[in-house]
């Protein structure tokens, strides 16, 4: 993943979360869901989040806070 600037990355993240996830109503964050574990692992590394993939090819989730 190429991080060119924060505005582009933020726009990408918003679009990705809208299409493959959901925003939490009770707190400032969202969850994205994907079976593409390498992508979620790289995204977690970029944003400084912990990520543990689900076993056996099931879709994994990555929680992204608004911080």
- Determine whether 50 is exposed, middle or buried from the number of CB atoms within 10 Å of its CB (0-12, 13-18, 19+): exposed
Residue 1 lies in a domain: no
Count the domains in the chain. 1
pLDDT of 2 higher than 80 = no
Q: Which domain holds residue 14?
A: 6-65
Q: Say what percent of the chain tops pLDDT 90.
A: 15
Residue 26 lies in a domain: yes
Q: What is the pTM of this model?
A: 0.75
Cβ–Cβ under 8 Å, residues 61 and 33: yes
And the tokens for 63? 């929680």
Mean pLDDT, the chain, rounded, equals 85
Residue 36 lies in a domain: yes
Residue 27 lies in a domain: yes
């Amino acid at each position: 993943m190429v991080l060119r600037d924060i505005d582009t990355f933020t726009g990408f993240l918003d679009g990705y979360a809208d299409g493959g996830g959901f925003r939490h109503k009770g707190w400032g964050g969202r969850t994205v869901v994907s079976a593409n574990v390498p992508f979620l692992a790289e995204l977690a590394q970029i944003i400084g989040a912990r990520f543990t993939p689900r076993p056996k090819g099931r879709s994994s989730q990555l929680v992204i806070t608004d911080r």
